[in-house]
Structure 1
Amino acid sequence: MSHFPGRRRTTRWRPVGALLAALVLSCAGSASAASPAGYGPTPPHNPYAGPDGTATMHGDTGSSDTTPWAGPGAGTLASSRTALASACPTVLIGSDGYPVALCTPIFGQVPTVHLLDPEDNSSLTTLSLTKGSLLGGVYAYIDHQDRLVVADGSRSLLRVGHHRDSEGDWRLTVDRRLSLASVIPEDDAVTGLAPDWKGRVWFATGGGVVGTADDSTGTVKTLRLPAGERVANSISTAPEGTAVTTTHATYLLDTEDGTPRIVWRTAYDRGSARKPGLLSWGSGSTPTFFGPGTGTEYVTIVDNADSAAHLKVYRTADGSDVCSVPVLRAAGGPGSENSPVGAGRSVFVAGTYGYPYPAVPEGAGTSVPASADFAGGLSRVDVRADGTGCSLVWDNALRSAAVPKLSTADGLLHTVVRDPLIPGTRGTSLLDPFRYVQIDPANGQITRSGKVGVGSLFDTLQMAGTITEDGAFLQGTVTGVLRITAQ
């Protein structure tokens, strides 16, 4: 189903060497849309993950939400939708160029892996996983051998590979499996996972179990975080350690023998209740590593304070405060379920207050108020050059309906916005129009946009998009995957 005139056919991806070369697009400095390399550096490449920008929902294991690839360029924008009758929050791509989507069907809600054709996004083959919690299996990553690494409802760590048989047909197979059932209670599930720099898989459960798993030896070691603290988002890894944000605090953990150890813990204001448009009572952030030197000097989240949402920036070395800056004030919606975008000294925060999620995870708590109009909002905060604090650069009321991605190649933010059915209002309806937009990070203004669809079939549900090497923007929706290109 096309919503822009025309659609180009994409070419096959270039060799891995071209991927590696394009990663060298970072240097420190002030942000400028005219100088894309000013937005950097990004976190260092994890040798046990796939290509930066496409290996995780948030681009890399540091969760920077950046990509080294440019989005749709000059020409007529075109959009097509692959209908999968599923919500597809995770669309990842390995070094071979084949997109792998992790989706939850509308009927049955059994997590399903789809291997997509890189030419047109059609589903080449599928693999059903064991059903678990609402957020269980949402977060996954592509490893250095192009396998999807995911934890399923059986509390098992899986590496799912895609292979061609002797007749040339594709199939998805579980190439490796490790049970985590001995360390994860039956009523718990893995929420987030990411590799460290030694190849171990770090994981965190909704109930607050953090662990490492070596599926080559079968070794699993864990640490339970304080009682009452839940993990509702994914985790992030950097050479310095693993960042985990619970419903009460942000942690940096490391290990010598595989047993997780707390390096530091910093509490934040979680507010008096869950807010509408958030999926837990606390921060909605997957913690983001960023910084102007190594790309990981800082860790940032957004808190859940009652009257305002604050961007919290901590020093990775010791957890000390760099700043706490109120954000999303122009939109009037004090809340964000999205991971911040971080590159160099700049952080971008998209608001989700009031977003009409069709369901929330079990145990999320009552929303106060029960509902609200979708406020949206987008803010940019820069850490000062001397690291002594932060400044709000701009703040607007743009209503991003997805996690924005910053391209260090074209110097633009890419996302999908949800416009009100009645211009000038803030309510949402089943007939809202959705637009793909490119945003100038220097001032927060939309520089280019195009309609992708109208109505709930196109709801991007605050999910993250992925930019391919040849400039296509792939965006999951509640019913499948959008492919936005230029010709």
Structure 2
Amino acid sequence: MAPNGSSNIHNDAYQTDAYGGSGPSGRRPTVSSRFQGGLCGSLTFDSAGRIVSVCLTPGASPKLVLLDAGTLAALDTMTLPGMSSSDFSEVSGGGYFYLDQDNRAVIPTKDGGISVVAIRGDRLVKQRSYDLASVVGPGNILSALPDWSGRLWFVTGAGLVGTLDMTTGAVATHALAGESIANSLAVDESGGVFIVSDHALYRFDAARRGEPAVTWRMEYDRGNRRKPGQLSQGSGTTPTLIGPAAGPDGGYVAIADNADPRMNVVVVARGKAGPAKVCRQPVFPAGRGADENSLVAVGGDLIAENNYGYELDGHPLIKGVLGGRQPETTPGVVRVHVDYARRACTIAWTNTTERIPSVVSKAALGNGLLYTYTHPAASELDYKTRGGLFGAPDAWYLTALDLRTGKEVWSRLVGTGPLYNNHYATIAIGEDGAAYSGVVGGLIRVDDSDD
């Protein structure tokens, strides 16, 4: 994979959502945006610092784009195979993809395949494709990542786990009977591949001939409903790995469950010996907690955001044209402190103010900030920004919180209206220190002012 911070939506193979460097400090932040004709949800950066993304539009073919990071201008665009459904929350076909060490985008496509696209100068060049349609059946490939030996692992929404030898084309699969998958996977250096379905958390390892084999399975509390803000009745989090596989317990893996009345952050040992429980910490208000984004790893601690209430009724653009606001969600961000020696969790801090509908938030350890994307309630907007033809504007902000305290450090209005809804896209920090996010209309960029 490309270097950590550049390779995929959750930054690295551990899916930490954390950068070692710094993002914008909030010094007179400037905002720029560019229409890309779709939601560019995953953002990666090639070795020249350019953005590589897949932009999805309901009812159209996904597009791979190569963008100038400073201007957001498209340098090249490639139409990918297949057609997106009319479901605006469907993320297969490029919602998850990764950039490899040779600047090649490895993309699950809508036709049940895997495309490998190289960057030559300022051009996107298709290098190879793998037709897996007969193997995956009706369930499109949701995500794919390589393990430490270079073997490609993939998952489908229908609960199929597979491996692909990218040299020989050999494919092997394992079906999770009666279970579905709605998130990506995490991989560690011991060969472990960690996958969460809507029923259980799994560790897989490759068997002798490369086929996926279940090492252990741990059921979690999946609750009794699909909460507003989540894509399935189950965990909404891609597994997050903490600590090296050579460390105590083989390292650790964390998810959020979907329990009622309160969801929990769940941490277990991830070694081959089995998922020994470390702790289970309730978070967010009873009956009003949901997290559809990966937990952010800060040292051994974990940060969760509350997405409860993000339920779109139809296409957000249609609602916006008719004058409606996007959903108002239950506020909440929490940092869970994990004491691995004592097998205990505590709440380090809770922010009950910020409303975060759906963004993949990111930590910048270099300057101690958590970058997130907020959507205040109409009653919380400053009086001067309220009003207009349809009442309170649909205002969206890039917001930075202090990782140590959870308090807001700064917040910058990015834009108003449905085109600025990030809709499950990620925030990314570029080599230039700017913050980027996909939005319904394309991309936004926020950076400190030069003057």
TM-score band by shorter chain is 0.7 to 0.9
Structure 1 residue 315 and structure 2 residue 269: aligned? Answer: yes
1:1-40 equivalences under 5 Å are none
CA distance in 1, matches of 2:372, 2:174: 37
**CA offsets per residue over residues 232-260 of structure 1, 9 Å max, x none?**
11111111311100000000101143111
| Correspondent of 1:287 among 208, 230, 239 | 239
CA contact (8 A) 1:291 1:343 kept: no
Question: Which residue of the partner structure matches residue 121 of structure 1?
Answer: 72
Structure 1 residue 434 and structure 2 residue 391: aligned? Answer: no
SS across alignment from 1:270 = coil
CA distance in 2, matches of 1:349, 1:456: 25
Residues 1:161 and 1:59: Cα distance change in structure 2 (over 3 Å) = same
Structure 1 residue 399 and structure 2 residue 355: aligned? Answer: yes
| Correspondent of 2:181 among 224, 231, 242 | 231
Cα distance, 1:294 vs structure 2? 6.3
Question: Which residue of the partner structure matches residue 13 of structure 1?
Answer: none
TM-score of the pair, normalised by structure 1: 0.81
CA contact (8 A) 1:278 1:336 kept: yes
Cα distance, 1:179 vs structure 2? 1.4
SS across alignment from 2:419 = helix
Aligned AA (1:375): T
Question: Which residue of the partner structure matches residue 456 of structure 1?
Answer: 418
1:97-116 equivalences under 5 Å are 97-105=49-57, 108-116=59-67
**CA offsets per residue over residues 66-86 of structure 1, 9 Å max, x none?**
112310136320010111121
Residues 1:293 and 1:235: Cα distance change in structure 2 (over 3 Å) = closer
Aligned AA (1:210): V
CA distance in 2, matches of 1:382, 1:243: 22
| Correspondent of 2:169 among 211, 215, 218 | 218
**CA offsets per residue over residues 36-68 of structure 1, 9 Å max, x none?**
xxxxxxxxxxxxx10101211011111110112
Structure 1 residue 348 and structure 2 residue 303: aligned? Answer: yes
Residues 1:437 and 1:128: Cα distance change in structure 2 (over 3 Å) = same
Question: Which residue of the partner structure matches residue 20 of structure 1?
Answer: none
CA distance in 1, matches of 2:180, 2:295: 20
Aligned AA (1:228): G
**CA offsets per residue over residues 10-45 of structure 1, 9 Å max, x none?**
xxxxxxxxxxxxxxxxxxxxxxxxxxxxxxxxxxxx
Question: Which residue of the partner structure matches residue 423 of structure 1?
Answer: 380
| Correspondent of 1:380 among 335, 340, 343 | 335
CA contact (8 A) 1:235 1:287 kept: yes
CA contact (8 A) 2:26 2:410 kept: no
SS across alignment from 1:409 = coil
SS across alignment from 1:95 = coil
Question: Which residue of the partner structure matches residue 293 of structure 2?
Answer: 338
Cα distance, 1:150 vs structure 2? 0.8
SS across alignment from 2:380 = coil
Cα distance, 1:118 vs structure 2? 2.3
| Correspondent of 1:470 among 417, 432, 437 | 432
CA distance in 2, matches of 1:151, 1:468: 24
1:77-226 equivalences under 5 Å are 77-105=29-57, 108-130=59-81, 131-132=83-84, 134-137=90-93, 138-164=95-121, 170-185=122-137, 187-225=138-176
| Correspondent of 1:484 among 441, 446, 449 | 446
SS across alignment from 1:182 = helix
TM-score of the pair, normalised by structure 2: 0.88
CA distance in 2, matches of 1:328, 1:146: 40
SS across alignment from 1:482 = strand
SS across alignment from 2:304 = strand
CA distance in 1, matches of 2:117, 2:395: 36
**CA offsets per residue over residues 155-175 of structure 1, 9 Å max, x none?**
1111112223xxxxx322221
Unaligned runs of 5+ in 1: 1-48, 165-169, 361-370
| Correspondent of 2:205 among 244, 254, 271 | 254
Structure 1 residue 408 and structure 2 residue 362: aligned? Answer: no
CA distance in 2, matches of 1:132, 1:216: 29
Residues 1:197 and 1:290: Cα distance change in structure 2 (over 3 Å) = same
CA distance in 2, matches of 1:74, 1:421: 24
CA distance in 1, matches of 2:195, 2:370: 25
Cα distance, 1:152 vs structure 2? 0.4
**CA offsets per residue over residues 100-141 of structure 1, 9 Å max, x none?**
1111135x3321111101221111111111225622121101
Aligned AA (1:350): E
CA distance in 2, matches of 1:456, 1:301: 30
Question: Which residue of the partner structure matches residue 282 of structure 2?
Answer: 326
Residues 1:262 and 1:220: Cα distance change in structure 2 (over 3 Å) = same
CA distance in 2, matches of 1:409, 1:390: 25
Question: Which residue of the partner structure matches residue 387 of structure 2?
Answer: none
Aligned AA (1:176): R
Structure 1 residue 268 and structure 2 residue 225: aligned? Answer: no
Residues 1:373 and 1:414: Cα distance change in structure 2 (over 3 Å) = closer
Cα distance, 1:424 vs structure 2? 8.1
SS across alignment from 1:463 = coil
Q: CA RMSD in A?
A: 2.2
CA contact (8 A) 2:160 2:173 kept: yes
CA distance in 2, matches of 1:424, 1:76: 20
Residues 1:299 and 1:472: Cα distance change in structure 2 (over 3 Å) = same
CA contact (8 A) 1:430 1:455 kept: no
SS across alignment from 1:216 = coil
SS across alignment from 1:53 = coil
- What is the aligned residue count? 417
CA contact (8 A) 2:328 2:375 kept: no
Cα distance, 1:411 vs structure 2? 1.7
SS across alignment from 2:133 = coil
